[in-house]
Structure 1
C-alpha cells in the first residue's frame, strides 16, 4: 500500500503550479489558494479512496472517529508557493485510532519523497534515513515554525518568542526552512538536528512525526512528554541532543 500512496502523491503533485505573481490581498490569497488546493485535495481523496475504501477523510485533524482516517495537507507551505517560492510539499498520513500508521511527504521542487510505515523505518526516495550523530547543541542546526493562524491560539506566539531567544544562545543556527512537515522529516534524515514548535498543528505534524520517529529521532512535546496529535507543543531531535533541547525549552517556559 505504501508504494501505491507514493505513486499517487508524486503523480498528482507534479501538476502543482505557483501563480504568475503573488496575491495582493488576503482575499486574493484565499481565492488563489483555493484554486490550487481544492482540485489537488479532491484528486487525492478520490485516489486514496481506491487504496483504502473504508478509510474516512479528514483534511484537518480534529476529533477523529475510530478506525482508519486519511489526514491530508495538499499544500504544506502554501504561503511559500503563493509567493513563488519552492519550499512546499504534499503530505498524506493514514491514521488508525489516533495513531499515525503510514506517511508520505513529497516535495515537487526537490523531487524527493519521505515515506514511513509504523514499525518499518523511514526512507527518502527509497533509501533509509537516520538522524544526526551530533552530541552537542553548540554544533546543532535547529529549525522552528508556527501553526497556521497562530494568533488564534492564545499564548503560542509568546511561547515561540521566548523559546527562540533561549535556543538561539545555545545552538549554531536556527532556521525556518518552509513546510513544517518537511523540516520534521529532515530531522529524521539528519539534515536538521532538531525542530520545535508551540501550538496545536496535528495535520502538519502527524505524518512527519512518524517519519522522524521511524528514522530514529526522539519525538516528544517541548517539555519531553509523549507527543500526541492533540498536544500543544512539539519537539523532534537527534537522540543525543533531545534531552538538552527539552531542558532549554522547559526553562524558557
Structure 2
C-alpha cells in the first residue's frame, strides 16, 4: 500500500501544479455563468491528468460518476476524485482549494491524498496506517466537553430550513459554530485537532471520502446521524473527536426532524 500511496501522491501533486498555474488571488468572477465556465475548464484540465494516470496505476479501480455521489457503490475498488475541491474559492481568488483522490474498496475508504498547492500541503492516509500532513502524524482533539467544542459545517443543497434550525439549536450548546466550503477542509481541521467536529446534511461521496479516512486514521469517529459508521449512500455525516462525538450525535439526532 505504501508504493500505491507514493504513486497516487505523485499524480495528485502533478495535477495540483497544473491547477496552480491557472490560479491568481486577484480572480473575481462576474456572475454564476462566469464561475461555471471557469469551473468546467479547470475540472477538465485536472481530470485529463488524473483519470489516465490513475487508470494506469490501478486498472481494476473504476471512476465514480456524478450519479453515484450519494449512493452505495457496487463491490470492488473505486476512485473518488474531486479535481478541484473548493472550486468556488479558487475562482474568487481564495486559497482554500485542493485536489483530492480517495480509493474505496467495497465501500470503505482505504487510501486518501489531499494536496493543497498553495502552501504545498499534502494530507495522506491509508487504512490502518495513520493520518499525516507533509509526513507529520495527525491526532484529533482531546476535548470531552461539548460546551468547549468548535464545530464546523457546510450548508446543504436543499435542506435550508432544517439546517437553519439545527444551527440555531447547536449555537446554544457548543462554544463556536462555523460554516464553510468545501467539506474537505473542515474535516482536515478535525483530523489535525484544530476543531472538534464536523457535520453535514446531504453530503456527497467525493466531497467527504478523503476526510472520512483522514479523521478516522487520526483517531476520530465518523458516523451518519443515525449513529451507524459512515458509508457511501449515507445522506449525512458527523466526524469528530471521540470525547465529543457521542454527545453531539445525540444533540443532532434530537434536533433532526426528517
- What does the per-residue CA deviation read over 1:139-171, in whole Å, with 9 as the maximum and x for residues that have no partner? 211110035xx03xxxx2222112111211222
Of the three residues 17, 27, 34, the one matched with 2:40 is 34
- Tell me the residue number matched to 1:70: 79
Shift of 1:214: 1.1
- Tell me the residue number matched to 1:89: 98
Structure 1 runs not aligned, ≥5 long? none
Shift of 1:177: 4.0
Of the three residues 54, 69, 73, the one matched with 2:60 is 54
2:114 match: secondary structure? strand
Q: CA RMSD in A?
A: 1.7
In 1: Cα distance, 2:113 partner to 2:179 partner: 21
Of the three residues 9, 12, 30, the one matched with 2:12 is 9
- Tell me the residue number matched to 2:120: 111
1:15 match: secondary structure? helix
In 2: Cα distance, 1:168 partner to 1:110 partner: 32
2:242 match: secondary structure? coil
In 2: Cα distance, 1:63 partner to 1:240 partner: 29
**1:24 maps onto 2:30 in alignment:** yes
Q: 1:12 to 1:85 in 2, by over 3 A?
A: same
- Tell me the residue number matched to 1:242: 245
Q: 1:124 to 1:49 in 2, by over 3 A?
A: same
1:14 match: secondary structure? helix
2:50 match: secondary structure? helix
In 2: Cα distance, 1:109 partner to 1:166 partner: 36
Q: Residue 200 of structure 1 contacts residue 232 of structure 1 at CA under 8 Å; is this kept in 2?
A: yes
Q: Residue 80 of structure 2 contacts residue 205 of structure 2 at CA under 8 Å; is this kept in 1?
A: no
In 1: Cα distance, 2:46 partner to 2:35 partner: 17
In 1: Cα distance, 2:223 partner to 2:186 partner: 15
Structure 2 runs not aligned, ≥5 long? none
Q: Residue 197 of structure 1 contacts residue 222 of structure 1 at CA under 8 Å; is this kept in 2?
A: no
- After TM superposition, the score normalised by the length of structure 2 is 0.90
Q: Residue 77 of structure 1 contacts residue 88 of structure 1 at CA under 8 Å; is this kept in 2?
A: yes
Q: Residue 155 of structure 2 contacts residue 179 of structure 2 at CA under 8 Å; is this kept in 1?
A: no
Counting matched residue pairs gives 247
Q: 1:110 to 1:249 in 2, by over 3 A?
A: farther
